Amino acid sequence: MSMNRTVVGRSCAMLAIGWGTLAWAQTDTVRDDDAPGWLRQIVQDQGSPQAREYARQRKVRKELEREIRKLRFEHFRTKNTALRQEGMLKLREYTDPAVFPLLIEIFERDDAQVRLAILDHIMDTATDEGDTTLAWVGVFDKDEAMRKAAIDRLRTRIAKVGQAPYNVRLVVYQGLRSKQNATMASAANLANMINLAEAIPWLIASQVTGSPQGGGGGAGQDQSGYLAYIAIGRQVAFVSDLTPVVGEGAVAFDPQLSVVNEGVLLRISGATVYSYHTEVHGSLVDLSTRLSGESTRDLGWNVPAWQRWYAQTFAPAWEAKQREAKAAETKAAAEPQ
């Protein structure tokens, strides 16, 4: 799998993460063979069960939005402890995963106590959609304290179920592709905290990113597209014309000086700005070292070296380890109790 092109084809519909439900706006399929296999597998058309479930959730959210906003106005815009406790009890009645994004959105500006209670409620529902919602908050929320709280609760859930839900990987993937430093750092931290081995190639590709700037100025192109000029040389003055000036009993000359340039002119038609994401790199080193059992710190920022290490060392060893674990699990299940 290419480390730099884990993207879907241009004609593929944009992925909509309905806080745990996946839907696709078109029937196009993934055109890029370098997209992750699990991502290609979830592409569905509008008639798929996922798309129908997403449509149902949108309808539920639309129907309940006014009701939840009214509940917030009546119970959470006051310091009355009894009213707030009553409001929290009523909020816990909303267990349909379709409501989770509404709870996060509507109470986004409330105090930390209310928001943490909502995260607790979502965790207590013990659903994959709830886990995905926690992952989304842990990556994309603007409040660092809320991101940390969401990740802590997600780790508690994963400790109980044994592995991260399928859709949590999508949240990490989207976060690393966001090109926003804080979001990328949060996604990398989440992948590290939940031991998401599948995220290692995404982290490798995301630790160093480049952005081309400018362009043009080449042969047959618009010469106005240059970013800068650098001239290295010298100027030599010479007399290019001489005009005689004659007066009574005197003669003189009026010289005209010109300058010739000698040297090199460097025209810059394009440039690339590289960003080194230290938080992503730190999470990558920590995660890869822990899962492989050997320090990867010496790989530094050398992306090609990281790619070779993943393809030739880590991936084969990890796949073998997974096969052994699955075989041991199958054998244990077959043995009489």
Give the mean pLDDT of the chain.
Answer: 80
Q: Are the C-beta atoms of 284 and 204 separated by less than 8 Å?
A: yes
Mean pLDDT confidence for 40-46: 50
Q: Give the pair of three-digit tokens for residue 115.
A: 């928001």
**Residue 118: band (very low, low, confident or very high) from pLDDT cuts 50, 70, 90:** very high
DSSP assignments along 90-104, one per residue = HHTT---GGGHHHHH
Residues 6+ positions from 152 with CB-CB distance below 8 Å: none
Domain boundaries, the chain: 15-207+275-334, 215-269
Rounded Cα distance, 261 and 75, in Å: 79
Encode pLDDT of 182-193 as tens digits: 999 999 999 999
The rounded percent of the chain whose pLDDT value lies above 90 is 39
Interacting residues of 114 by C-beta distance below 8 A, sequence separation 6+:
76, 84, 88, 107
Phi, psi of 321, deg, nearest 5: -65, -40
pLDDT of residue 268: 83
Residue 279 has pLDDT above 50, yes or no: yes
**Model confidence pLDDT, tens digit, residues 213-232:** 655 444 444 445 788 888 89
149 pLDDT higher than 60: yes
In this prediction, residue 220 carries a pLDDT of 42
Pair 44, 22: CB distance under 8 Å: yes
- Rounded CA gap, 332 and 36, in Å? 31
Which amino acid makes up residue 117? A
Beta bridge partners of 244: 253
Q: Quick check: 34 pLDDT over 50?
A: no
- Is the domain spanning 15-207+275-334 CATH 1.10.8? The answer is no
Render pLDDT for 44-72 as a digit per residue (tens, 0 to 9). 455 667 667 777 778 888 888 889 999 99
Note the pLDDT of residue 10. 28
The one-letter amino acid code at 204 reads: I
